[in-house]
């Protein structure tokens, strides 16, 4: 009876926090901006490969063009974090959105493959700044104590456009032409930036304000050309930030484990993408566009799971994260034994629910543990490395499916999701209560979610 009362109280509290967020103009503007931006990006994800194939046919050019969007973040993502943390992340997110919108509008005007690839690189530069800037804005618009509900709304705003965007892209491309898909993203980028223009922010405690750059030591200004001195100072600041993040992650067992399993999950995701393409062709060759249905089912599950997570507030969040990843892995493994497209869609819907629950817990736990002034640097360091693991998993998936076949590939995808979190149970489950004084720690004593 006591547990039922506690769960009922937690559920009512979660509903009240959701209602409070829906009355919070700052949270609504951030969620709305992210939703609109992702909607346009989802349409370009459909339009870009179609444009390349329509003009130049199939070949390596398609792969190189799509990969070009990831290169800036892999190579220079950590630098973007320095800029996000030094300047107003709201302005950084606005300029990144507007810049990406302008670049996307130029795709229909290109006349050569190298021009398309150059624009794809430019889109990657915009994403390199927009994602850490958006993450840095979360603690400034989501009140303390509402991390789970706020991140649930944000994850929903990321997942739902992945369903709506491709659904809208088909009629637009068929009725108006592929070029209009890029015009649509340009319009959504302007709308997303407009929502951020008057974003009201919570007051940041003085202890969390970014510190001014340290003054150079005597004589340092005369040690070489100004350009080289600036590069050296930037490199030292970058290295110091990386050391700080590593030390902070290492000191918090749950945070370090969340970070490690984020990387292993990206390997599993890369394997899963390749597996699903082969699975849809081999097992359901009689069902046209089965890959799209499978991805849509997982996306729908993701949107539902993000909204359900707040109901698990009364649970130990470490266990929720572990179960989310482990049960998603079970769903992938179960695909081996189903020959029914209905069951396959149901399994991937459930997998999407578990994936989304784990994602919400991840973001909420990071937000609770990470000082506000380090949010941009954390995600700017995490995302490029995650992209490397994603690319590695995708390449490995291509080799695995060809050598081991569908069954073993599904098993490996599921194991790659479940095994790492199960190995880290002892670090993910304990709740680490931080003293109030550690909310904005010094470099040596910080913790990091």
pLDDT tens readout for residues 251-286 = 777 888 898 899 899 989 888 877 877 787 778 877
Spatial CA neighbour of 240 closest among 369, 384, 80, 82: 82
Query: Residue 395 CA to chain centroid, in angstroms?
Result: 20
CATH number of 251-449: 1.20.1250.20
The whole-number pLDDT of residue 141 equals 76
Q: What is the mean pLDDT of residues 121-143?
A: 80
Half-sphere exposure of 54 (CA within 13 A, CB side): 13
Q: Which of 119-123, 313-317, 397-401 is predicted least confidently?
A: 397-401
Q: What is the mean pLDDT of residues 178-194?
A: 87
The whole-number pLDDT of residue 444 equals 28
Q: Which of 95-104, 185-194, 269-278, 355-364 is predicted least confidently?
A: 269-278
pTM: 0.61
The whole-number pLDDT of residue 183 equals 87
CATH number of 21-201: 1.20.1250.20
Q: Which of 5-9, 121-125, 333-337, 385-389 is predicted least confidently?
A: 5-9
pLDDT tens digit sequence for 232-256: 655 565 565 556 667 667 777 788 8
Q: Give CATH 1.20.1250.20 domain extents, the chain.
A: 21-201, 251-449
Q: Which of 157-171, 227-241, 353-367, 432-446 is predicted least confidently?
A: 432-446
Going 434 to 437 to 439 to 443, the CA torsion angle's sign is: negative
The whole-number pLDDT of residue 213 equals 41
The whole-number pLDDT of residue 39 equals 85
* pLDDT surpasses 60 at 35: yes
The whole-number pLDDT of residue 204 equals 46
- Interacting residues of 309 by C-beta distance below 8 A, sequence separation 6+: 148, 152, 320, 356, 357, 360, 361
Decide: 124 and 68 in contact? Cβ < 8 Å.
Answer: yes
Please give the share of the chain, as a percent, with pLDDT higher than 90.
Answer: 10
* pLDDT surpasses 70 at 12: no
**Burial of residue 139, with CB atoms counted within 10 A of its CB: 0-12 exposed, 13-18 middle, 19 or more buried:** buried
The band of 89, judged by pLDDT with boundaries at 50, 70 and 90, is: confident
């Amino acid at each position: 009876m006591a547990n039922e009362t506690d769960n009922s109280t937690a559920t009512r509290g979660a509903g009240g926090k959701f209602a409070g967020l829906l009355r919070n103009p700052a949270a609504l503007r951030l969620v709305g901006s992210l939703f609109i931006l992702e909607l346009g990006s989802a349409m370009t994800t459909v339009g870009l490969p179609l444009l390349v194939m329509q003009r130049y046919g199939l070949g390596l050019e398609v792969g190189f063009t799509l990969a070009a969007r990831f290169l800036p973040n892999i190579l220079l993502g950590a630098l973007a974090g320095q800029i996000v943390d030094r300047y107003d992340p709201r302005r950084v997110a606005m300029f990144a959105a507007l810049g990406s919108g302008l670049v996307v509008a130029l795709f229909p005007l290109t006349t050569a493959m190298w021009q398309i690839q150059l624009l794809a690189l430019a889109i990657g530069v915009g994403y390199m700044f927009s994602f850490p800037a958006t993450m840095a804005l979360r603690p400034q618009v989501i009140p303390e104590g509402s991390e789970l509900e706020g991140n649930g709304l944000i994850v929903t705003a990321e997942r739902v456009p992945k369903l709506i965007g491709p659904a809208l892209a088909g009629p637009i491309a068929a009725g108006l032409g592929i070029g209009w898909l890029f015009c649509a993203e340009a319009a959504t980028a302007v709308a997303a930036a407009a929502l951020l223009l008057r974003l009201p922010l919570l007051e940041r405690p003085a202890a969390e304000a970014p510190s001014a750059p340290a003054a150079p030591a005597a004589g340092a200004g005369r040690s070489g050309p100004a350009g080289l001195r600036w590069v050296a100072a930037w490199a030292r600041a970058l290295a110091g930030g990386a050391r700080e993040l590593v030390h902070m992650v290492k000191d918090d067992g749950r945070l370090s484990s969340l970070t490690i399993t984020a990387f292993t999950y990206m390997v599993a995701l890369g394997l899963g993408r390749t597996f699903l393409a082969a699975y849809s062709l081999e097992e359901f060759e009689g069902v046209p566009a089965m890959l799209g249905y499978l991805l849509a089912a997982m996306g729908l599950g993701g949107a539902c799971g993000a909204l359900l997570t707040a109901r698990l507030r009364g649970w130990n969040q470490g266990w929720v994260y572990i179960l989310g990843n482990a049960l998603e892995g079970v769903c992938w493994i179960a695909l081996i034994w189903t020959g029914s497209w209905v069951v396959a869609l149901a399994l991937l819907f459930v997998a999407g629910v578990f994936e989304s629950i784990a994602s919400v817990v991840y973001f909420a736990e990071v937000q609770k543990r990470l000082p506000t002034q380090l949010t941009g640097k954390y995600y700017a360091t995490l995302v490029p490395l995650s992209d490397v693991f994603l690319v590695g998993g995708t390449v490995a998936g291509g080799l695995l499916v060809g050598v081991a076949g569908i069954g073993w590939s599904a098993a490996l995808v599921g194991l790659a999701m479940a095994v790492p979190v199960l190995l880290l149970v002892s670090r993910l489950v304990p709740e680490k209560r931080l003293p109030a004084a550690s909310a904005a720690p010094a470099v040596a004593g910080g913790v990091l979610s």
